[in-house]
Chains A and B, each alone.
Chain A
């Protein structure tokens, strides 16, 4: 059973499947880093993306690129709404994290219920056939879906990295992530950065939704009950502020789950993910806060030099 072809196939397919989870994790981590919000409303973005694509393709029969453009517009718009009329309002009110948490969870639940209302609770895929052509490379079956998913994710990750590291757009977001007040002092439009990060997250989520939906059907509650927890754990493992590490963590988690099929029954695979949460907490008792350290690094020079008037 543990022969090379099998292991290779598991590796390949596991990697391909992890592409969507990587996108979700990176989106979640980005919002966590820049907006400093645990975005439990990410399932709502997924649902908006997924069902707008579904409506465009299966409902109205529009061409592929129209559906993609439409879905992107809808998701990005929703993300902007979430930030502008949601997070910003509560941020200005200096609301507790409890408030953000309730808000985001309830927004997700609203999205799930709306989807169930309009589309029903049956499983739907984005295309009428989820079979894509396969090629046998040696002993490994590689489907075109696999290739597209991996390529797209790689391109998006590269683009995001370039954006964050080399463009003003990206560097401003990083500055806001480190210290919003200081960033504002430097003339950075903090609110706009918050919007930008949410919109980027929306793009990533939409891409992930596309790949999920072209592989298998889902029910409206899947984003909330299944995909969210992956993204959260990946972000947890990677640590707040480490976006690409979250992506890597998601890939590792997904591979871990894929290989677990060799030793445990398939219905218990998801338990590994839940158990991992508890393991994380026990192994990282310091918590995932790295902010205090970074804040300390950017704090102004010792008080005695600046506040006490020098003779």
Chain B
């Protein structure tokens, strides 16, 4: 946890607010798709849009903008950078296929370091300066911090990847496109007990939204399936020395250790567990589905089981060209691959929302985008499979189980839901 940004937080806040106001003073206001063209012009524009077969027209006078807040620097940047790349590619692909009725989809990307206070500043900026109707973001603590703002200002917030079950209750304008922890954390314990014969679980979790609720779900499900939870302990996000925790794990003698972590804490804990000669089975959720983790841990990563909410190459052939794109440009697989699949798809969801709003001749406000979401309900997602938004702000998908074998992730099972 970065203890440096202290009194600076409010300074940062009005620093960017000042930018807002100064920009407003300097540049003419840009209205967000609330164009008041005369009907004749609109028909002409629509016809022109229909006539364009390839590429969105640059002459379109209402680019559809949405905001993206994700960590590009800071401890979670390993995931954030790749997520942002995925969504940028998606926006390019959407525009190459004609955009939204011929108009370009535009994404405004801002770094928030996965920190709640920075995210609040950037969200305020999105709303007051860029006037976007939709914001895509991730990380449970960020979502929690900006929820009051988007609810008050009636801007749709799509949480992609954050999995704290509390997100379902964070307000009318907060929706997740990604199954919350009560999906996979209810599926993992029975799987471990039935298929792997585990009986005693030690549960470690990071002390904020990402860890707290998900680990509770795991714990309750493990007990409900007949297992015993021998340890349930948390650690603060910025801790790097886990010797004490590892010793405690060892003293309780579990046969499986489940870690509800963020990004860089997972390899640190596992390496220190292994250092103390603890060879117990380690499990985690999608944040550990990360090839960089295997690199960091080396042999210590063998056998780790993680859950994933996105299909693999065998389930979804559309993944092949996507992975090839990563190999071609970056010579590696993306970090947090399943998350990037959801992030790629989120641009398609946003595009669908804009199309609905346009088709129903409504201004693209947050309120209307939300209406669109509830009206369309089920979205085809190219990479992560179809998703349906329920009334209670949740979505449900199958849980896939992967295990590290021979230095690679191998899918070992699936749990339908």
Contacts and interface: CB of A to CB of B under 8 A. Distances in A.
Contacts of B300: 131
A120 B73 contact: yes
Nearest to B204: A266
Interface stretch (B163-171, B244-252, B332-340, B404-412): B244-252
Interface string B204-233: 000100000000000000000000000001
A6 B252 CA distance: 9
A97 interface: no
A1 B252 contact: yes
Interface stretch (A59-67, A167-175, A254-262): A254-262
A134 interface: yes
B93 interface: no
A88 B243 CA distance: 41
B74 interface: yes
B358 interface: no
A141 interface: yes
Nearest to B274: A131
B2 A221 contact: yes
Contact of B276 (A9, A122, A221, A265): A9
Interface in A1-40: 1-3, 6, 9-10, 13, 17
Contacts of B252: 1
B247 A9 contact: yes
A266 B233 contact: yes
A258 B274 contact: no
A215 interface: yes
B75 A136 contact: no
A122 B277 CA distance: 27
Contact of B243 (A17, A217, A221): A17
B277 A261 contact: no
B234 interface: yes
Contacts of B3: 221, 225
B271 interface: yes
Contacts of A258: 243-244, 247
Interface in A230-287: 257-258, 261-262, 265-267, 269
A217 B264 CA distance: 10
Interface string B249-274: 01110000000000010001001101
B238 interface: yes
Interface residues of B, number: 35
Contact of B268 (A120, A217, A269): A217
B42 to A, nearest CB: 50
A215 B272 CA distance: 9
Contacts of A156: none
Interface in B64-117: 73-75, 77
A10 B243 CA distance: 9
B264 A121 contact: no
Interface centre among A2, A17, A130, A215 (most CB of B within 10 A): A130
B248 A123 contact: no
A17 B244 CA distance: 10
B241 interface: yes
B240 A217 contact: yes
B2 A266 contact: no
Contacts of A222: 240
B243 A13 contact: yes
A123 B264 contact: yes
Given A6-B250, A123-B238, A221-B4, A269 B276 contact: no
Given A13-B276, A120-B73, A267 B207 contact: yes
Nearest to A122: B75
Interface string A103-137: 00000000011001000111101000111101010
Contacts of A200: none
B415 to A, nearest CB: 31
B233 A265 contact: yes
A122 B81 CA distance: 15
A134 B250 CA distance: 15
B256 to A, nearest CB: 18
A143 interface: yes
A159 interface: no
A100 to B, nearest CB: 23
A10 B236 CA distance: 21
A102 interface: no
B4 A112 contact: yes
A267 B236 contact: yes
Interface string A72-96: 0000000000000000000000000
A148 interface: no
26 contacts: A1-B252, A3-B251, A6-B247, A6-B250, A13-B247, A13-B276, A113-B4, A116-B4, A120-B74, A122-B75, A122-B77, A122-B264, A123-B75, A123-B238, A130-B271, A131-B271, A131-B298, A134-B276, A215-B243, A216-B240, A216-B242, A216-B268, A220-B4, A266-B233, A266-B248, A267-B236
Instruction: Pick the 6 closest A-B CB pairs, nearest first.
Output: A141-B277, A6-B251, A216-B241, A216-B240, A261-B244, A217-B240
